[in-house]
Amino acid sequence: MQLRAEGLQAHLSKGLARIYTVHGDEPLLAQEAADQIRAAARANGFGERQIFIVSGAYFDWAPVLAAAQAMSLFAERQFIEIRIPSGKPGKDGSDALQRYAQAAPDDVLTLVTLPRLDKTQLSSAWFTALDGNGASIRVEPVERRMLPAWLAQRLKAQGQSVPEGEDGQRALSFFADRVEGNLLAAHQELQKLALLHSKGELTLEQIEAAVLDVARFDVFKLSEAVLSGAVPRLLRMLDGLEAEGEAAVLVHWTLAEDARALARVRA
């Protein structure tokens, strides 16, 4: 069963699945999803927690399988976390995860965390087994065009807002420009606003004075800025990439590929 990250809390309030698989390359959203699952586990009596970090191709899966079958010494229910930083459990891991997913008892709640998975991994037997015996949550980066709405939602959650109309949109756009590509820092800037200002409406001047420029850019996003004709954003990205030490040859190659692609389309 696949869930959207924003619908996870509503799902958890109705009852828990046996296995939750969180995967994606957005650290903040992955952390928040995992924290929601951990909190729900504690609230439902899964008191004993074990963590297994899968490192390398020769990881021993026997303790993981044994933990799911062992009686808890300190609580009636167990909460087991399996972290796979590489996203590749290997052949032995694939077999173990399939057996684990099919045999895990109801008094064990499992959280599996993974980075972003490609199409092959998403259709693999081990991921299919995890998803088929529980729920999977994919966390995706928030694209620039969606970032103002995301920030407005987060501000609302902490009791703050921006003015209606053009002034509010300008404030959110400024905020988005300063935190693009860096949601962890965006979260910190939101918390800063909550500390500096009381609940209620924030002005553009207050946001400009408080929010630092913590944007992080991906060279492959240059194409989006070029093709959309967003010159100010393109210049910000180039300045940011230069400040981060990105190789100039990679930037040149990316822009050249765009130019060649447009030339092929025109021809």
Mean pLDDT of 178-185: 86
Residue whose token pair is 């062992």: 70
> CATH 3.40.50.300: which residues of the chain?
2-139
Q: Where does residue 56 rank: exposed (0-12), middle (13-18), buried (19+ CB within 10 A)?
A: exposed
String of b and e for 179-208 (b: at least 16 CB within 10 Å)?
bbbbbebbbebbeebbeeeeeeebebebbe
204-228 pLDDT per residue, tens: 888 888 887 766 677 777 777 777 7
Token code pair at residue 122: 């998403």
* Whole-number percent of the chain with pLDDT over 90: 27
Q: Write the CA distances from 4 to 14, 135, 138, 197, 257, integer angstroms.
A: 15, 10, 7, 32, 34
Question: Which pLDDT belongs to residue 112?
Answer: 93
Q: How confident is the model at residue 142 (pLDDT cuts 50, 70, 90)?
A: confident
> CATH 1.10.8.60: which residues of the chain?
142-216
Q: How confident is the model at residue 179 (pLDDT cuts 50, 70, 90)?
A: confident
Q: How confident is the model at residue 156 (pLDDT cuts 50, 70, 90)?
A: very high
Question: Which pLDDT belongs to residue 70?
Answer: 66
Q: Which residue has the higher pLDDT, 119 or 232?
A: 119
Please report, as a single letter, which amino acid is at residue 61. W
What is the distance between the alpha carbons of residues 183 and 181, in angstroms, rounded to a whole number?
A: 6
The mean of the pLDDT values for the chain is: 86
- 64-78, 80-94, 112-126, 184-198: least confidently modelled range: 64-78
Checking if the pLDDT of 82 tops 80, the result is yes
Sorted by sequence, the CB contacts under 8 Å of residue 220 that are 6+ apart come out as: 254
Checking if the pLDDT of 242 tops 90, the result is no
Mean pLDDT of 179-201: 89
Q: Which residue has the higher pLDDT, 242 or 197?
A: 197
Q: Return the CATH fold of 2-139.
A: Rossmann fold (3.40.50)
Domain 142-216 annotated CATH 3.40.710.10: no
What is the distance between the alpha carbons of residues 8 and 74, in angstroms, rounded to a whole number?
A: 28
What is the distance between the alpha carbons of residues 165 and 158, in angstroms, rounded to a whole number?
A: 21
Mean pLDDT of 243-258: 81
Question: Which pLDDT belongs to residue 2?
Answer: 84
Residue whose token pair is 């173990």: 96
Closest-CA residue to 211 (of 151, 159, 156, 149):
151
Mean pLDDT of 71-98: 82
The angle that helices 183-196 and 27-43 make with each other, rounded to 10 degrees, is 70
Single pTM value for the model: 0.74
End-to-end CA distance of the chain: give it in Å, rounded. Answer: 46
Closest-CA residue to 37 (of 124, 105, 134):
134
4-47 pLDDT per residue, tens: 888 888 899 888 888 999 999 889 999 999 999 999 998 988 88
